Amino acid sequence: MKHPNIVFLERDTVTAGDMDLSCIEALGDVTYCGNGRTDWKKGEFPAPLRDAEVLILNKTKITREFLEECPSLRCICLLATGYNNITPEAVKERDITVCNVPGYSTDAVAQLTFGLLLQLSASLPQYETSVREGIWCASTRYTYLSWPIHELAGKTLGIVGYGSIGRKVAEIGKVFGMKIMVHTRTVPAEADPSVTFGTLEEVLREADALTLHCPLTPQTQGMIGREQLALMKPTAFLINTSRGGVVEEQPLADALNAGRLAGAGIDVLETEPMPSSCPYRTARNCLVTPHIAWAAYESRARLLKEVAENISAFLAGSPRNRVL
């Protein structure tokens, strides 16, 4: 496979024309198609898939039916770390190599995590909106205290998942003077002595802010539901920049609307794009961003470079970052 046919399915999800794709285009004959669509049905598959030897994608669902349209496919290169959109049995049956990109967005995700938390802790959306609506102009005082403002210092930051992103979030939290409490499947052998590890229930009860940084697996699907939310402080915030399916959406919206939780910052949904029926749309003090935590310019450039290196390694017979 000296000069392979490369099909790039989700270019529009990684560049708005601001990324240099030459590192990938130099590796083969590249066809761009799909316009970011991720869920294909029989009779709708792009024609170039028939000749694809290397496929680049992010969230496209890879099923047996999909792979039937790709008889020449030998390698799938993910524009992501997670690979829960891949049916493992389907690619193994065809001996297709699947490579991901770990760690490329650690700083970006940690940054947005705190961007959301800082907005919630200072009620920034409410104050900014009030200024735009002329409330400050009409005020007789130099300031007003219509919504709560809290310091992060001294508060407990609960972190679920302690991979590279979870550890970076803990590092930043300590700079803010927060106490760090972590729930993770595997406690590191040489753990930071300033970090407290506990069960999920313990972390939920203690956290003033809970942030999720775990993959979506059968074990984490719906991990934060009505029962778990009931354990949290009514003054607590919940931040999810991991995967939407980790949190049950209706119970979270119900908790926010009933005042059983102070606020939430959500970057990921169970179904994306957001359906009009998503309960977060009308939930009280719920900040929602369109799955952009990973998408800093620098992290996208890093991602494309790593994908190019994954393809090169596969073509050379030594796959790197292989997950399946």
309 burial via Cβ count (<10 Å: 0-12, 13-18, 19+): middle
Give the tokens for residue 10.
Answer: 């989700």
Edge-to-edge strands of the sheet including 156-160?
195-197, 179-183, 156-160, 209-212, 237-240, 263-266, 286-288
- Choosing from 167, 183, 213, 291, which is the catalytic residue? 291
Please answer whether residues 200 and 223 qualify as being in contact, where contact means their C-beta atoms are separated by less than 8 angstroms.
Answer: yes
d(CA 225, CA 213): 16
Residue 168 and residue 104: Cα distance in Å, rounded? 13
Give residue for tokens 């967005």: 105
Choice among 243, 249, 300, 302 that is catalytic: 243
Q: Which two tokens stand for residue 241?
A: 């920049």
**How many whole angstroms from its chain centre is CA 99?**
18
Instruction: Report how far apart, in Å, the C-alpha atoms of 317 and of each of 4, 75, 79 are.
Output: 14, 11, 20
Helix (H) or strand (E) holding 99: strand 97-99
Place of tokens 């970011």: 36
Q: Is 291 a catalytic residue?
A: yes
- Among residues 3, 272, 281, 298, which one is catalytic? 272
Return d(Cα 113, Cα 204) in angstroms, integer: 17
Rounded Cα distance, 96 and 101, in Å:
17
- 3-state secondary structure (DSSP) of residue 178: coil
Identify whether 150 is a catalytic site residue: no
Positions marked catalytic: 243, 272, 291
